[in-house]
A and B are shown apart, each in its own frame.
Chain A
Amino acid sequence: MAGPAGGDAAYLSIQDVVKDFNGYKAVNHVSLDIAKGEIFALLGSSGCGKTTLLRMLAGFETPTSGRIVLNGQDMAGLPPYERPINMMFQSYALFPHLTVWQNIAFGLQREGLPKDQVAQRVDAMLKLVQLGKFAQRKPHQLSGGQQQRVALARSLAKQPQMLLLDEPLGALDKKLREETQIELVNIIEQVGVTVVMVTHDQEEAMTMASRIAIMSEGRFLQVGAPADIYETPATKFVADFIGNVNLMPGTVEVDEADHVVIGSADCKHYVGHGITGTQGMDVTVALRPEKIHVSRHKPQDDFNTAHGTIKELSYFGSFTVYHVELASGARLKISQANTARHKDDELTWGDAVWAHWSRSAHVVLTQ
């Protein structure tokens, strides 16, 4: 099915790959096509199989069945040291006995490149990651962020056909992580390499990747652009896994082509688009906290509104999250941007409030 490279053929093609560890399927019939130049993220909690999949791409694990084809070349039987793929390891795995310069040169020297070319490439790499001054240092003399850049330079030095990133920013603290995310993407785009990254950090996946695969128990639950996954999750699991969400079970009461009404314990949902369902069907309505508006005043709309009491309140600076307890005892998470500095009439614990949301705010989930 996968022909030679070129045309519309996928650059990297993972075809029905299974990895079985003594009867436990760490990766369970996974298929995926990645285009050239894409930054693709495998996102999932620990033990979901994302690292195993990455290690199969690098050649450290052999698939039990299935094929991995890169640029028209079947990777089966190719040991890691013969693959045109390089990896940036989790916590970097820099060689402690070598200097920064020697670390970056390591791969080039293995290719048997002449000395002057090695030097040229290493210097270009050092410039790319802005570490020229640190060329003669040992890894332990560098900060975490600098080590990360050495690791990146080392994995890009051989100009691989594909770059693998294993939790690329996991070892950095939050502030540095945000800066590095953007820097990393800039460098990757400058080089133009195709990337598969593994992360458990959804923010990292969302900001860096052009597409994300959500993995759980060795399978892909959903593959798509970050916004697609966030705004139209396919399942309750994905909706819950990515960001915060309120999940409300309900039943379809009115099913029209341009709208549906779903009744749930505390309110009636008017959904401004049709769904593939039938009247009387049990569904789950997913609502993101930031899409709900909260106030003391009863909205005019009878639909898409719920009444309750503020039970908890978490102030995050730029926004505040309210936990509103509804009549049924269910809690609704609502987040509001703090646009003004001091409101006269600030909501607080115990206030009776109305929550309201628009007709396009929901996602109706059937599984």
Chain B
Amino acid sequence: MAGTTQPWLRRLLSGRSAVIGIPYGWLLLFFLLPFLILAKISVSEMENVVFKDLITYQDGLLQLQLKLGNYIFITQDALYVKTYIASLQYAAATTLLCLLIGYPFAYFMARARPERQTLLLLLVMLPFWTSFLLRVYAWKGLLSEHGWVHDAIIGLGLDQLLLAAGVISTPGKLMNTPFSLVLGMTYTYLPFMILPLFGNLAKLDVRLLEAAADLGATPWVAFWKVTVPMSKAGIIAGSMLVFIPCVGEFVIPELLGGPETLMIGRVVWDEFFSNNDWPMASAVAVVMVLLIIVPLALFNKYQAEAQEAGR
């Protein structure tokens, strides 16, 4: 062995590549690899309980067999298409609600005195100290008949409003409706909206607001012309953190949703565990991931280009 190490080897062993390498390795091992396995299963043929090999070699004939039937079925069966659209809609509604509730919350948190800021931050994170499952179960109690929230909503006549909005179908029945589903998801994912927004808004230079006021902007105008555009990055980050997991959410629709609120996570579960049709389940999951990742990647690319152009 010579005393000098190869440059590529030195680069590989340097601290910098180790730091970058760890998250890459993580993603490779726990995201890309399972995804590829899933993709492989989705195009496999079942033979009793085992998958047939995709590539076979027999008598000098190399054959690659991809069963695309599952994908074709997904596009043709209205149930899947409807469920995908419903999942995206529920996730979008949840994201919008989280933004509407989370933005003012994050805004006042960012403007609060430092000692109060710590307290508010703690309050946002406090629910994480209890199991997520318990908290969703608690909503079941609150929303079903004789639950406080149920009684309060009925007492105030708000159920008529919800009925008019089409998020419940029977007056007085709140559980297992789109309303209870979106409420549960909004409640659960709200901190994921608040925290990135808070991080962003806390950094906002108040002198910019003074400059806006000086130039004739009322506080309301300054908020829309300066604060909101300046917090775009926080809005995007928070929305992604809420939207992405919501699309594939399984537990909350299972506990709070009903038959009318079928979401794609539920379908995947059923295909895997009720139908035992792994290739079909995998195909449904792959389409879901693509549905989320493709627009996201495009959006990221556009963002990066916009930033590049701005710089």
Contact = CB atoms under 8 A, between A and B. Distances in A.
Interface of A: 58-60, 79-82, 85-87, 89, 93-97, 106-107, 110-111, 138, 140-141, 154-155, 158
Interface in B182-220: 205, 207-208, 210-218
Contact of A86 (B214, B218, B232): B214
Nearest to B210: A60
Contact of B210 (A80, A85, A107): A80
Interface stretch (B32-40, B223-231, B289-297): B223-231
Contacts of A60: 210, 213
B311 A93 contact: no
Contacts of B251: none
B214 A81 contact: yes
B221 to A, nearest CB: 7
A80 B225 contact: no
Contacts of B310: 138
A110 B311 contact: no
26 contacts: A58-B210, A59-B214, A79-B213, A80-B213, A80-B214, A81-B213, A81-B216, A81-B218, A86-B214, A86-B215, A87-B211, A89-B207, A89-B211, A93-B207, A93-B208, A95-B211, A106-B212, A106-B215, A106-B225, A110-B216, A110-B221, A138-B310, A140-B311, A141-B311, A154-B215, A158-B215
A95 B213 contact: no
A256 B310 CA distance: 73
B208 A81 contact: no
A80 B206 CA distance: 14
A103 to B, nearest CB: 9
Contact of A93 (B211, B225, B232): B211
A107 B216 contact: yes
Contacts of A140: 311
A58 B214 contact: yes
Given A106-B225, A140-B311, A95 B216 contact: no
Interface of B: 205, 207-208, 210-218, 221, 225-226, 229-230, 232, 310-311
A95 B221 CA distance: 14
A110 B226 CA distance: 13
Contact of A107 (B215, B229, B232, B311): B215
B215 A110 contact: yes
Closest 10 CB pairs of A and B: A107-B215, A110-B216, A93-B211, A80-B213, A93-B207, A97-B229, A81-B213, A81-B216, A87-B214, A106-B215
Given A60-B210, A80-B210, A89-B207, A111 B216 contact: yes
Contacts of B230: 96-97
A160 to B, nearest CB: 9
A80 B214 CA distance: 5
A113 B218 CA distance: 16
B7 to A, nearest CB: 36
A55 to B, nearest CB: 9
B213 A93 contact: no
A142 to B, nearest CB: 12
Contacts of B205: 93
Contacts of B311: 140-141
A86 B212 CA distance: 10
Which of B205, B207, B214 has the largest number of chain A CB atoms within 10 A?
A: B214
A110 B211 CA distance: 13
A79 B221 CA distance: 14
Contacts of A106: 212, 215, 217, 225
A98 to B, nearest CB: 8
B230 to A, nearest CB: 6
Nearest to B228: A97
A310 B218 CA distance: 63
Contacts of A107: 215-216
B215 A89 contact: no
A59 B205 CA distance: 18
Contacts of B232: 97
A46 to B, nearest CB: 17
Nearest to A91: B207
A110 B215 CA distance: 7
